[in-house]
Structure 1
Amino acid sequence: MHMNSERDAELDRLRGLNARAVRGGVALVDRLAPGDLARPTPCAGWDLAALLGHLTAQHRGFAAAARGSGRELEHWAVRPPGEDVAAAADEYRRAAEDVIAAFAAVDDPDRPCTLPEFTGEQTFPAVRAIGFHLIDYAVHGWDLARTLELPYDPDPELLGAALPIARAVPDAGNRLADGAAFRPGLPVTGEAGELDQILAMLGRAPDWRAPAGSTPCGEGGTPGVW
């Protein structure tokens, strides 16, 4: 039986912030319109359909990890959403609520979680796995908003928690590998706000816009960033 009130408090804090980040993404997905799944995204080589398939799969995978079955690769499998925008949004919404529920049921911040897309050789304590998911979806919210040309303004508490996690992500040569979680970091100016700092550290250009006259991408390949 664990007895660590400080770790428990951090678990509660991170999963609450994570739920806010995830539901912020759901609110953006709920605004999908016919034709949006073909839009190009900040993730090089992926259109919105490919990105949404990835995000849905990651929700399922992290939910499985929190429940002790993250080693089973079928939980992480990407299923393309097809052309039905309403069905894609509904599937995403259900996966998002599933991972929030799975994290809410974690009763020990040090419960081991297997995250095979990070490594199959070790487990991570649940509190750290939730932190990984938090930074992923704080940034994915920006991906979705930029893709859909919608505002994105996470609250200061969420950004304050995400920034040190982003700083802790190693900026090593493996960021250039196919399927790398993030691209190499970009320069950060001293005047940059917290969101722009997070984006740049994780390889995103904060001023990204869809190229004029761009055509749908996502014809295979790996993403430039997650």
Structure 2
Amino acid sequence: MELTALYARSVELAAEVVDTVTPEHLELATPCGDWNLRRLMEHVVGQHQGFAAAARGAGPDLALWADAAVGDDPAGAFRRTAEDLKAAFAEAAAADRKLWLPEIRDGGPFPLDLAVGFQLVDTLVHGWDVAAALGTPSGLVAAVDADPVLAGALVSVSELVPAGPESRGPDRAFRERLPQDGARGPFERALALLGRDPAWTP
């Protein structure tokens, strides 16, 4: 299966989680440091917009990746911007375009498949962050683990994230890798690779 199709599958699984978020949930704590659920959703939607701009040929402009307001409808904002990003990825594929990703390593340009892989990981892991904040992570984990191709893509791209101190830490996108020997499946292995504790609770 093409990576873009796997990404579309990851969006649908994450959207099913985000659809359950209500305005009352937006102050909940998340596994993302001191971010509450509103801050996490603003980051996710901003990433959708940044990746879409990159897929349409934007250069390394960090302003395009700014967090975006979600109001009281995070699910609507998530779905609208994710659909736009899927369309932008299709446009980039048709143009054989590489993407500038100013938040990642040296900014690129990155091959489209790698950029899509990064966003697939972001989508599933932040989907888990949302589910964990709501106290319901098991459904998403089970759905991904039941799909060997999707789960394999999640783990393989997670393994590409550098593990050195220049890339990991409390002020970085990812914390230090955690031991994987207790992982009960590929999703938990990916979480550990990215410094997420699969047992995190609010």
TM-score (norm 1): 0.79
Query: Which residue in the other structure is 2:169 paired with?
Result: 176
Mapped partners of 1:35, 1:177: distance in 2: 28
Deviation at 1:166, TM superposition (A): 1.1
Mapped partners of 1:115, 1:109: distance in 2: 17
Of 115, 124, 146 in structure 1, the residue corresponding to residue 110 of structure 2 is: 124
Who wins on radius of gyration, i.e. which is larger? 1
SS of the aligned residue for 1:176 comes to coil
Mapped partners of 1:177, 1:112: distance in 2: 30
Mapped partners of 2:30, 2:170: distance in 1: 20
Of structures 1 and 2, the one with the larger relative CO (CA 8 A, separation 6+) is 1
5 Å-filtered alignment, 1:71-90, equals 71-82=60-71, 84=72, 86=73, 88-90=74-76
Name the stretch that deviates more: 52-61 or 101-110.
101-110
Amino acid in the other structure paired with 1:197: R
SS of the aligned residue for 1:43 comes to coil
Mapped partners of 1:22, 1:173: distance in 2: 30
Amino acid in the other structure paired with 2:11: V
Pair 1:100 & 2:92 matched: no
Deviation at 1:121, TM superposition (A): 5.0
CA RMSD, 1 decimal: 2.0
Query: Which residue in the other structure is 1:21 paired with?
Result: 10
SS of the aligned residue for 1:112 comes to coil
Conserved 8 A contact 1:29-1:89:
yes
Conserved 8 A contact 1:73-1:116:
yes
Gaps of 5+ in 1: 1-11, 211-226
Query: Which residue in the other structure is 1:142 paired with?
Result: 128
Of 129, 145, 152 in structure 2, the residue corresponding to residue 160 of structure 1 is: 152
Pair 1:114 & 2:100 matched: yes
Deviation at 1:70, TM superposition (A): 4.5
Deviation at 1:93, TM superposition (A): 1.5
Gaps of 5+ in 2: none
Mapped partners of 1:109, 1:163: distance in 2: 28
Deviation at 1:127, TM superposition (A): 1.1
Mapped partners of 1:128, 1:47: distance in 2: 29
TM-score (norm 2): 0.88
Mapped partners of 2:116, 2:189: distance in 1: 21
Deviation at 1:63, TM superposition (A): 0.9
- Percent same amino acid among aligned pairs? 43
Seen in structure 2, the aligned counterparts of structure 1 residues 177 and 33 have a Cα distance that, compared at 3 Å, is closer
Seen in structure 2, the aligned counterparts of structure 1 residues 28 and 121 have a Cα distance that, compared at 3 Å, is closer
Paired positions, count: 195
Query: Which residue in the other structure is 1:7 paired with?
Result: none
